[in-house]
Amino acid sequence: MGTCKQFLKNNKLFLLFILLMSVFRSAVADWYTVPTGSMKPTIQEGDRIVVNKMAYDLKIPFSQVSLIRLNKPQRGDIVVFESSAANNRLIKRMIGLPGDVIEMKNEKVYINGKALNYAITSQNAANLFATEQIDGLSHLIRINKKASNQMSSFAPMTVPQGYYLVLGDNRRDSADSRFYGFVPHHELKGKATAIAFSLDYDDYYLPRKSRFFKNIYSI
């Protein structure tokens, strides 16, 4: 017991720093490593993503309990959420807000009956790349030609109140609302804002210097 008290006395500033850092990462901002390619080409495996945890709610640290609703998610936001349906933390793009009717026909997304601006920009033997514009925000999507096109269409669905519809930018290789259903608001962890740094898993984990400190919405 005496040894424990002595340790606490000698290290109280360090322990206070650890506590404050933990609270900060829990309630204010954090960073996550992206392990899959479901958001390619916007986000790649090995990217370390900065997440603003106060983008939508002020939450009690170390919990999902919201004290104050700060902002509403916007279409086009890249969000991190703890999916109970997937039993995993996921990162996807916000497409449908509460009350929206969302439909997809041959890769093209329709919101409330209006098609998003969609234009093919390039392609190779394996993939097709297109620019999609949602509420004034343009981003690239990737379509794997070798993947099943069963992911390319779905019938109109209305997003319930308190829920959201999300999709991955890697449209045929993303487990998103097409698999796990709508995302409840309380599962949102925050809004991804930037790439802090990136490691190339296919090249001995060497840094991808061109992706350091990149605004995730200008890639």
For residue 72, give Cα distances in angstroms to 69, 106, 164, 201, 214.
8, 30, 11, 35, 24
**Residue 81: strand pairing partners:** 90, 188
Catalytic residue positions, numbered: 38, 92
For residue 85, give Cα distances in angstroms to 60, 74, 88, 147.
23, 22, 8, 23
How would you class 147 by CB atoms within 10 Å of its CB: exposed for 0-12, middle for 13-18, buried for 19 or more? middle
Q: Are 73 and 188 in contact (CB under 8 A)?
A: yes
